[in-house]
Amino acid sequence: MARKAAIIGGGVIGGGWAARFLLNGWDVGVFDPDPEAERKIAAVMANASLALPALSDVPMPSEGSLTFHGTIGEAVEGAEYVQESVSERIELKQRVYAQLQQANPDVLIGSSTSGFKATDLQAGAPNPANIIVAHPFNPVYLLPLSEISGSPANPTEVVERTVQIMKDIGMFPLVIRHEIDAFIGNRFLEAVWREALWMLKDGIATTTEIDEAIRMGFGLRWGQMGLFETYRIAGGEAGMRHFMAQFGPTLKWPWSKLMDVPEFNEELVDLVAGQSDAQSGMYTIREL
């Protein structure tokens, strides 16, 4: 009998999770009040069905069955795991957890939150021990990283169970050592995003040029070995110590505006959105 996951919130992230579970042989029950949810998830599945099996070294299991439900209680019935991907509003998430735990008291709940700590999510919950962060990256059906972040309320076995479920669907679970807002990936991306906005605002580069600098340069390296291994190699045979000695002083040079934030106003939004439209507005999101 197939294992079952419930997906609460069927947008871009929830749909990606649904595809990831389905293509790995799980049955999936979805709850999303959006009348367009079925169409949106079907579009995600169409992409995922082509992309994910192409990356697999072994044949994929038989696809699970997908059902849509009118209530949270129906969606979570018989599920061993729930992935919550509703809007980033803490009171909404907490309300969803209360309903989930009323309907299925022992179910394990992972949240796709981009920034809330597990402690915040768990506040006021009937069973805080079974609520944990499992933060993915888009598209979920392709990118394997899942940042697992618990709180002192989560026993070790809950963390281990979450890690195992992630592995069972081909994810790469990374357990965060200490609770921190936005976890690891998004904190890093926030710094890059801030610097990009400054270069844009100051007229140094366009959205296209910034993306090409990433895509054609260090982005290719990061896809294989990340930041520290890349810099270790940059140090040559002497390794990281040589790299640090050589480039350490540049940390005090005025290369970066990372300590400052450009004023977030309509002018900045128009600048970014206008250039982004010119860069890729001729493609639909699905084509991209």
Strands 145-149 and 172-175, how do they pair? parallel
Residue 259, pLDDT score: 66
The 10s digit of each residue's pLDDT in 208-267 is 999 999 999 999 999 888 888 888 888 888 777 877 777 767 667 766 666 676 687 788
- Are residues 191 and 150 part of one domain? no
What is the average per-residue pLDDT within 87-105?
97
> Looking at residue 210, which CATH number applies to its domain?
1.10.1040.10
- Are residues 83 and 205 part of one domain? no
- Are residues 130 and 43 part of one domain? yes
- Are residues 83 and 13 part of one domain? yes
Residue 201 contacts residue 262 (beta carbons within 8 Å):
yes
The 10s digit of each residue's pLDDT in 52-93 is 988 888 889 999 999 999 999 999 999 999 999 999 999 999
Nearest Cα residue to 189 out of 147, 130, 149, 154: 147
- Are residues 101 and 228 part of one domain? no
Collect all residues with Cβ–Cβ distance below 8 Å to 88 and sequence separation of at least 6: 113, 114, 115, 116
The 10s digit of each residue's pLDDT in 171-203 is 999 999 999 999 999 999 998 999 999 999 999
> Which tops the pLDDT comparison, 112 or 226?
112
- Are residues 171 and 36 part of one domain? yes
Residue 242, pLDDT score: 79
- Are residues 243 and 119 part of one domain? no
- Are residues 263 and 230 part of one domain? yes
Share of the chain above pLDDT 70, in %: 94
Per the structure, the count of domains in the chain is 2
